[in-house]
Amino acid sequence: MSKIGVFICHCGENISATVDCERVAQELAKVEGVECAIDYKYMCSDPGQTIIKDAIREHHLDGVVVGACSPRMHEPTFRRACAEAGLNPYLCEIANLREHCSWVHEKGDATTNKAIDLVKMLVEKVKRNKPLESIKVPITKKALVIGGGIAGIQASLDIANAGHQVILVEKDPSIGGHMSQLSETFPTLDCSQCILTPRMVEVAQHPNITLYTYAELESLEGFIGNFTAKIRLKAKSVDYKKCTGCGACMQKCPQKKIPSEFNAGLGTRTAIYVPFPQAVPNKPVIDREHCNYYKRGKCKLCETACPTGAIEWDKEDEILTEQVGAIVVTTGFNVKGTDFFPEYGYGKYKDVITGLQFERLASASGPTFGEIRRPSDGTIPKKIVFIACAGSRDPAKGIPYCSKICCMYTAKHAMLYQHKVHDGESTVFYMDIRAGGKNYEEFVRRAIEEDHVNYVRGRVARVYEKDGKLIVKGVDTLLSGEQVEIEADMVVLATAGVANCGAEVLAQKMHISYDPYHFFAEAHPKLKPVETNTAGIFLAGACQAPKDIPETVGMASGAAVKVAGLFSNNELVREPLIAVVNRMPPPVFSTCVGCFMCQTACPYNAIEREEIKGRDGKVIKTVAKVNPGLCQGCGTCVAFCRSKSIDIQGYSNEQVFAEVMSLLNQ
């Protein structure tokens, strides 16, 4: 015979204004198995909790139902109170009399009766509750950061400075990401490299950070606190222990015409190369696709040039296995390029370039040493047109979202152009200006008012070449409503920010979700912006959506704090409200038939296979087993299991059934 205590909270007037709390308590006192039923103005207050604790001790209660507000709010409070009085906390349930009743109904008998029903249901449920122990999982206090842009750099430094080990994996030969390609940065116009490169060096020298460049995640297994990551170290063909970074090899390399990725295709590089002079690490790799030796078996000029004998021709990719406790994904974004804009002639006319290419033209370390020169003939463009929203906010192009950073960098580009070409004329075609951010609006106004950039509100229909000029055909929808045609020397497209190619493959490897545009999905758009749906994997930066640097860095530090918070414990304590497959020893038994429907259904990959062996060691059958580290208690497997072999602890079929029956049996 159970002894249940019922505690009805008035929640000030929140509940009592429409529900007759006293009557609820009186009615509940009559229910079979209810030992005591008390109502009180504020159950969550100290005296309120004391009422519960005293009742547990006095009546030797074996279950508690609190009729109060949402369990989201005070479930931990009441469970803690029960635990303090010696009752297993999972024998305490909350009936939500506020959000589910008093707030959504008028005052009256019907409302009170509903409140009575809600509490009764939970009384029936709690009678069938079992004491549960929280789950403890050990934690490997080492983090893996994937992607070495500013997001990855910031997250790595923050975690490392909190005293934890970090492995940073970057697919390119150097860290730095897109930020290293930028000239000056809005809204302060400070030089991107000047603020970035010191951090890059810090990463390389930090005792807590192991940096793997030219490396990629091969596979990921395990769960929060206990991941096993396999990392592919792509063959660099250069032994970094011997290489001093002198650069002799690069000077000798006859393959000089390869478009430089760092210069967004505007400059060239050699087959053995360092992406840019300030790269970290500042040592070359051989790009085997373009190297004469790997292509045709002849050359080896770099080997002859190398004073330390660092070239390793036969080097193969290595696979490294690392145990980590948490992962921060910071793989960034890209900009839309060729063939996407037939109407703007990108890829057809050399002087139609992307914003990223403009950054390289404006950068002191770029192919023109910071002078704005046309890619076609090297002359200085006297008339330049910037086209915002090239692809973005255009459902017809498949990109309905706003790329967010382009309004700002277009204003920056026009401003930089005016600063460098004093007699130049710049026009920006825009749809509307989105400059939300600290000092952002002021920055755009400055471009318009102080630097006299000509802003035209309207879309550009077409760009074509005529007599060496680019004719930009657009419309001015704001002032005249008329079509405008500008003869420009150069056109810069603020192309849509898109997810990296291969982002979805990476997401699948890590079992995190992504949105329709292949950006990684956060667990909650407002309250969990740096978490993913997979515990222990966090996001930062532009891999989640196009972002500017301040936002990226803020997010990276946020993710780092989450990791540090996780690592502040030796063990991870998790709620035991997870799925279990029934097992009854001995003889080892389970109703599971091993169909593994649950395995396909589980969004968190929490279902494993377990072999049941007889005394002779032979496998009798294979059944499902839930990995408590991975299970999020969503219950999808329960719905799928045909043989009803899985239950969520604390929410078993039997318990939910009892709740429903309590309503029907009155």
Ligand X SMILES: Cc1cc2nc3c(=O)[nH]c(=O)nc-3n(C[C@H](O)[C@H](O)[C@H](O)COP(=O)(O)OP(=O)(O)OC[C@H]3O[C@@H](n4cnc5c(N)ncnc54)[C@H](O)[C@@H]3O)c2cc1C
300 binds, among other proteins, ligand SF4, ligand X, none (CB under 5 to 8 A by kind): ligand SF4
H-helix segments, 128-167: 150-161
End-to-end distance of the chain based on CA atoms, in angstroms?
20
**Closer of 302 and 407 to ligand X (Cβ):** 407
652 binds, among other proteins, ligand X, ligand SF4, none (CB under 5 to 8 A by kind): none
Contact 443, 188 (CB under 8 A): no
- Based on the shown chain and the rule CB under 8 A, indicate whether residue 342 belongs to the binding site for other proteins: yes
CA pseudo-torsion sign 549, 551, 554, 558: negative
Torsion angle of alpha carbons 287, 293, 296, 299, nearest 10°? 130
Residue type, 507: A
Q: Which of 549, 563, 592, 606 binds ligand X (CB under 6 A)?
A: 549
Least distance in angstroms from the C-beta of 597 to ligand SF4: 4
Q: Which of 156, 185, 193, 649 binds ligand X (CB under 6 A)?
A: 185
653 binds, among ligand SF4, ligand X, other proteins, none (CB under 5 to 8 A by kind): none
Pattern of binders to ligand X over 339-368, x per CB under 6 A?
----------------xx--x---------
**Closer of 76 and 400 to other proteins (Cβ):** 400
Measured CA to CA, the distance from residue 154 to residue 320 in angstroms comes to 24
> For other proteins, which stretch binds (CB under 8 A), given 29-37, 342-350, 587-595, 634-642?
342-350
Least distance in angstroms from the C-beta of 265 to ligand SF4: 20
Contact 152, 177 (CB under 8 A): yes
Residue type, 320: L
491 binds, among other proteins, ligand X, ligand SF4, none (CB under 5 to 8 A by kind): none
Least distance in angstroms from the C-beta of 263 to ligand SF4: 19
Contact 98, 70 (CB under 8 A): yes
Least distance in angstroms from the C-beta of 488 to other proteins: 14
**Closer of 465 and 476 to other proteins (Cβ):** 465
For residue 38, the SS3 value is strand
Tokens of 112: 């009170």
Least distance in angstroms from the C-beta of 411 to ligand X: 10
| Nearest CA-CA partner of 427 in 447, 443, 402 | 447
Q: How far apart, in Å, are the Cα atoms of 301 and each of 240, 251, 282, 297, 476? A: 18, 10, 20, 12, 57
Q: How far apart, in Å, are the Cα atoms of 24 and each of 18, 28, 40, 42, 48? A: 12, 6, 12, 16, 17
**Closer of 274 and 542 to ligand X (Cβ):** 542
**Closer of 331 and 532 to ligand X (Cβ):** 331
CA pseudo-torsion sign 154, 392, 508, 607: positive
* Strands 326-329 and 537-539, sheet pairing: parallel
Residue ranges in 51-70 that form contacts with ligand X under rule CB under 6 A: none
List CB contacts of 580: < 8 A, sequence separation 6 or more. 626, 646, 647, 649
Least distance in angstroms from the C-beta of 532 to other proteins: 35
DSSP state of 660: H
Q: How far apart, in Å, are the Cα atoms of 445 and each of 80, 441, 455, 637? A: 55, 6, 11, 56
Which residues of this chain interact with ligand SF4, rule CB under 6 A? Answer: 252-255, 271-272, 286, 291-293, 299-302, 581, 592-598, 623-624, 640-641, 643, 645-646
Pattern of binders to ligand X over 275-314, x per CB under 6 A?
----------------------------------------
Residue ranges in 198-217 that form contacts with ligand X under rule CB under 6 A: 216
Tokens of 419: 């600063």
Pattern of binders to ligand X over 380-419, x per CB under 6 A?
-------------------------x---x--x-------
Pattern of binders to other proteins over 368-397, x per CB under 8 A?
----------------------------x-
348 binds, among ligand SF4, ligand X, other proteins, none (CB under 5 to 8 A by kind): other proteins
Q: Read out DSSP for 377-412?
A: T-PPPSEEEEEEEESTTBGGGTB-S--SSHHHHHHH
Least distance in angstroms from the C-beta of 353 to ligand X: 10
Q: Which of 422, 438, 466, 642 binds other proteins (CB under 8 A)?
A: 466
Measured CA to CA, the distance from residue 241 to residue 226 in angstroms comes to 31
Give me the half-sphere count of Cα atoms (radius 13 Å) on the Cβ side of residue 240: 15
412 binds, among other proteins, ligand X, ligand SF4, none (CB under 5 to 8 A by kind): ligand X
Q: For the chain, how many residues are written?
A: 666
Least distance in angstroms from the C-beta of 526 to ligand X: 20
Measured CA to CA, the distance from residue 518 to residue 401 in angstroms comes to 13
Give the binding site for ligand X (CB under 6 A): 146-152, 169-172, 177-179, 182, 185-186, 216, 330-333, 335, 355-356, 359, 405, 409, 412, 500, 506, 541-542, 547-550, 552
Give the binding site for other proteins (CB under 8 A): 342-343, 345, 348, 396, 462, 464-467, 471
